[in-house]
Structure 1
Amino acid sequence: MTRLLLALSLAAPLLAGCAVGPDYVTPDFGVPNSWSSDRGRPAPALKLAQWWHNLADPQLDQLITEAVGGNLDVASAKARIREARATQRQAIGALFPSISGTGSATETRSASSSTGGVAIGPTTYSQYQAGFDSSWELDLFGANRRAAEAASYGVDAADDDLRATLLTLIGDVASNYIDARAYQARVALAKRTAASQRETAALTERKQNAGSASAVDTAKANALAASTEATIPTYESSYQQAVHRLGVLLGRDPTALSLRLSRATVIPSPRLPLPKGIPADVLVMRPDVRKAERQLAQYTAKIGQATAALYPDVSLSGTVSTSALKLGDLGKSSTIGWSIGPSLSVPIFNGGKLQAAVEVAEAQRDQYHVAWQSAVLSALEDVENAIVNLAQERIRIRSLTESARRYSEAARLSRSLYETGSSTFLDVLDAERSQFTAEDSLLASRATLAKDYVALAKALGGGWTGAIDSSVPIVVDDNTGPHLAQTVVARSPKRFSEEIKPSP
Structure 2
Amino acid sequence: MSRAGWACAALMLGSALAGCAVGPDYAGPPRLALPSHWSTSTAPHRDAGRLDRWWLRLRDPLLNRLIEEAVEANPDVAKAKAVVREARATLQQTAAGLFPSVSGTASVTNNKTSAGSSSVLVDSAPYSLHQASFDSSWELDLFGGTQRGIEAALRSTQSAEEDLRNSLVTLIGDVAAYYVEARGYQARIALAQRTAVSQRDTEKLTRSKYEAGSGNAVDLAKATAQAASTEANVPTYQAALAADIHRLAILLGRPPDGVASLLARSAPVPAPRMPLPTGLPADLLMSRPDVASAERKLAQATAKIGQAEADRYPAVSLTGSVGTSAIRAGDLAKYSSLSWSVGPSITVPVFDAGKRLATVRIVEAQRDQAFATFHSTLLTALEDVENALVSLSRERVRATKLSEATKNYREAARLSRSLFKTGSASFIDVLDAERSLYSAEDSLIQSKVSAAKDYVALAKALGGGWSDPVDVSRPIIVDTNTGPHLREAQK
2:11 maps to none
388-397 or 268-277: bigger deviation: 268-277
Among 20, 36, 41, the residue aligned to 1:38: 41
2:150 maps to 148
1:250 is the counterpart of 2:252: yes
Taking a change above 3 Å as real, the CA distance of residues 228 and 339 of structure 1, as seen in their structure-2 partners, is: same
**Inter-partner Cα distance in structure 2 for 1:203 and 1:368:** 71
Among 34, 50, 69, the residue aligned to 1:47: 50
Contact 2:178 2:247 in 1 (8 A): yes
**SS of 1:94's equivalent?**
helix
2:242 maps to 240
1:456 maps to 458
State the identity as a percent: 56
Q: Residue type of the partner of 2:77?
A: V
**SS of 1:422's equivalent?**
coil
Return the offset for 1:44: 5.2
TM-score normalised by length of structure 1: 0.92
1:131 is the counterpart of 2:133: yes
Contact 1:106 1:126 in 2 (8 A): yes
Q: Residue type of the partner of 1:47?
A: R
Residues 44-71 of structure 1 show CA distances to partners (whole Å, capped at 9, x for unaligned) of 5433121111111111111111111111
**Inter-partner Cα distance in structure 2 for 1:402 and 1:25:** 56
Contact 1:401 1:442 in 2 (8 A): yes
Residues 15-34 of structure 1 show CA distances to partners (whole Å, capped at 9, x for unaligned) of 61211000001111221111
- Superposed CA RMSD: 1.6
480-489 or 62-71: bigger deviation: 480-489
Uncovered stretches (5+) of structure 1, i.e. residues with no partner:
1-11, 490-504
**SS of 1:487's equivalent?**
coil
Among 66, 69, 72, the residue aligned to 1:63: 66
Residues 429-459 of structure 1 show CA distances to partners (whole Å, capped at 9, x for unaligned) of 1111111111001000000000101111111
1:477 is the counterpart of 2:479: yes
Return the offset for 1:121: 3.9
Uncovered stretches (5+) of structure 2, i.e. residues with no partner:
1-13
Contact 2:36 2:44 in 1 (8 A): no
Return the offset for 1:260: 1.0
2:261 maps to 259
Residues 389-420 of structure 1 show CA distances to partners (whole Å, capped at 9, x for unaligned) of 00100110011111111111111111111111
1:83 is the counterpart of 2:86: yes
Aligned length: 477
Contact 1:47 1:276 in 2 (8 A): no
1:5 maps to none
Among 422, 425, 428, the residue aligned to 2:424: 422
2:109 maps to 106
Among 353, 362, 375, the residue aligned to 1:360: 362
**SS of 1:319's equivalent?**
strand
Contact 2:323 2:338 in 1 (8 A): yes
Among 370, 383, 386, the residue aligned to 2:385: 383
1:96 maps to 99
Return the offset for 1:276: 1.0
Q: Residue type of the partner of 1:76?
A: K
Taking a change above 3 Å as real, the CA distance of residues 124 and 463 of structure 1, as seen in their structure-2 partners, is: same
Taking a change above 3 Å as real, the CA distance of residues 54 and 134 of structure 1, as seen in their structure-2 partners, is: same
**Inter-partner Cα distance in structure 2 for 1:217 and 1:24:** 78
Residues 66-123 of structure 1 show CA distances to partners (whole Å, capped at 9, x for unaligned) of 1111111111111111111000000100000000001122223445x53484442474
2:324 maps to 322
Taking a change above 3 Å as real, the CA distance of residues 333 and 381 of structure 1, as seen in their structure-2 partners, is: closer
Contact 2:48 2:283 in 1 (8 A): no
Contact 1:128 1:327 in 2 (8 A): yes
| Displacement over 6 Å in runs of 4+ | none
1:269 maps to 271
Return the offset for 1:213: 1.3
**Inter-partner Cα distance in structure 2 for 1:451 and 1:236:** 20
**Inter-partner Cα distance in structure 2 for 1:120 and 1:470:** 69
Contact 1:71 1:250 in 2 (8 A): yes
Q: Residue type of the partner of 1:347?
A: P
1:308 is the counterpart of 2:302: no
**SS of 1:339's equivalent?**
strand
2:219 maps to 217
Contact 1:87 1:151 in 2 (8 A): yes
Taking a change above 3 Å as real, the CA distance of residues 193 and 460 of structure 1, as seen in their structure-2 partners, is: same
Q: Residue type of the partner of 2:97?
A: A
**SS of 1:73's equivalent?**
helix
2:197 maps to 195
